[in-house]
Chain A
Amino acid sequence: MLEIKNLSIAYGKVQVIWDLSITVGSEAVGLFGPNGAGKTTLINCILGMIRPISGNIYFDGRDITGLETYQVVRLGIALVPQERELFPLMTVEENLKSGAAYIPHARNQLVDRMNFVFTIFPVLKERLSQKAGTMSGGEQRMLAVGRALMACPKLLILDEPSVGLQPSIVTEMFAKLKQIRMEGVSILLTEQNVKQGLKVIDRGYVIENGRIVIEDKSEKLAQEEHIKRAYLGV
């Protein structure tokens, strides 16, 4: 489904991703790593917001390297960005609708999708006419996830979706992600909360200084000494 081959990315002269290759099939894949490892950079590059200096990105067998963001999104990749990137002056309802309105295959399932989002985040239903900019950080995070789900994506990319959410909602959201994954949506997830993240994913990569240092199944990752020490704090 998603295949990244020998990707290198630099900001000006500073290279942050080094000859990196990963694949995401019909599965949930985790991307773990310390702050500044290059996770967000990699994701922004998949979405066409940054141009790589070399390497290629394929989606459904098609080379999407260098496509504009809106083109990538219309192919079926939805993003929950680390910075949420909502529309603060629009209501919750308008924000949700914006997730589907510009994607032809999502537009005609708008009502169904919205109800689906409400089953995951019931609080959004109660806030339909609230302006997104006036919501709390956690509520905005839920809205950002909801907006991405509105796009009926084939691949859902979440950049640290649990930041700022209360533990019960994180558990709930990850349970729902598992459900979404069962319905055939591939997932690529970065997470500081490695313990929770490992429960959702089938397979994971650990990325440090722009390179993959470990790749394994999620059960195996949980046993890794390096991961235990550096990310799980045990």
Chain B
Amino acid sequence: MKRIFNLYTFFLLLLVVVALVRPYAFFYGLQRGSLYSLIALPLALILGIVGLLNLAHGDFLTLGLYIGYILFNQFKFDPILSMIFIAPILFVIGLAVYKSTIEKVLKSHHLNLLLITFGVSITLVELINSLWTSRPRNVYVTYATKSISLFGISIGAYEFLYVAASIAVLLVIMLVLKKTRFGQAAFAVGQNPRGAAIVGINVKLVYTITFSLATAMMAVSASLMMPRVSIFPNLGGPFTMKSFCLTAMAGLGNLPGILLSGITLGIAEAIVQSIPGYSGWSDLVFFGVLILVIAFRANRGAER
């Protein structure tokens, strides 16, 4: 416990130092990292409760973005408001994907599960490609391009929504897990599916609802990032990887840790990007930090 406390103190100190020395990297990293966390949270839920690493995770984000794009393009829907339409559509798609593929192999070997989500990922990307071509799509809204001055630097104001949303989504998830009967059931299933069945929980149903709900949750990140990205079919892949990294770094079942890891990695990435000539190294740093943290944790585990 004391060590963890020290780690957090160290982390906070580092943040303060970065904020003082490189305020732009700090704020930009905070925003990016929050977005990564927002995207990673549903993946962590599915991994923690269903025990499934969903390699198609990022592609549901892509799908959400395209749905939002269509709503915007055809019906002039505001990107953020379109969340309330994207979410139920994604829920149904998630449900259909889960019932038609994943549930069928849930009892078999882990590798089969991984393979099937990989298959789902490829199928989704190809489907998106043939439906909407690989031409990048953009959504413009004026409010998303405003910037504000903070500590003498100019930074995007809109992106602070990522920070607010990631904290809000995290709190809602934790509250649901702790305070609702479904949440407690899901928490129980995640720890011990056999035990859950023995106390009368319909484990299959919990899996189905968790997967579909987590997929629907991708509507939040899709809506928020919509005005700030170019939408193209392969957009999701790197986000799947980063989501997995955050989950691994936080440790299974540690949801607040995802926000912390996300912000750490976001800032590390932003610092590297701010060094002229080295911006291409940011992914390397992302995965480098991840490996360090996991190695550190494994080492600490071995000492005990």
Contact = CB atoms under 8 A, between A and B. Distances in A.
Instruction: Judge: A and B partners, yes or no.
Output: yes
Contacts of A69: 197-198, 203
A86 B184 contact: no
Contacts of A86: 192, 195
Contact of B198 (A79, A88, A97, A101): A79
B152 interface: no
Given A69-B197, A73-B198, A73-B200, 5 more contacts: A47-B198, A86-B192, A89-B191, A102-B181, A151-B199
A48 to B, nearest CB: 8
B199 A73 contact: yes
B195 A102 contact: no
Contacts of A74: 200
A87 B197 contact: no
Contacts of B198: 47, 69, 73, 79, 81, 85
B199 A102 contact: yes
B181 A101 contact: yes
B194 interface: yes
Contact of B253 (A47, A89, A101, A147): A89
B192 A102 contact: no
B194 A102 contact: no
B197 A70 contact: yes
Given A70-B202, A86-B192, A89-B253, A98 B184 contact: yes
A224 interface: no
Interface string A48-90: 0100000000000000000011100110000101000111111
B253 A98 contact: no
A139 interface: no
Interface of A: 47, 49, 68-70, 73-74, 79, 81, 85-90, 94, 97-99, 101-103, 147, 151
B188 interface: yes
Contact of B191 (A47, A79, A87, A151): A87
Given A89-B253, A90-B187, A94-B184, A99 B192 contact: no
B191 A90 contact: yes
Given A85-B192, A86-B192, A147 B199 contact: yes
Given A98-B184, A101-B184, A87 B200 contact: no
A96 to B, nearest CB: 10
Contacts of B192: 85-88
A102 B191 contact: no
B188 A87 contact: yes
Given A73-B200, A103-B200, A147-B199, A49 B187 contact: no
A85 B181 contact: no
Interface in B198-240: 198-204
B185 interface: yes
B195 A85 contact: yes
Given A49-B194, A85-B192, A102 B253 contact: no
Contacts of B187: 87, 89-90
A90 B202 CA distance: 19
Contact of A90 (B188, B197, B201): B188
Contact of A68 (B185, B188, B195, B202): B202
Contact of A98 (B188, B194, B204): B188
B304 to A, nearest CB: 14
Contacts of B196: 87
Contacts of B200: 70, 73-74, 102-103, 151
A43 to B, nearest CB: 11
Contacts of A89: 187, 191, 253
Contacts of A101: 181, 184-185, 199
B195 A70 contact: no
A85 to B, nearest CB: 4
B191 A88 contact: yes
A162 to B, nearest CB: 19
B225 to A, nearest CB: 32
Contacts of A73: 197-200
Most buried by B among A70, A81, A90, A94: A70
Nearest to A84: B195
A143 to B, nearest CB: 11
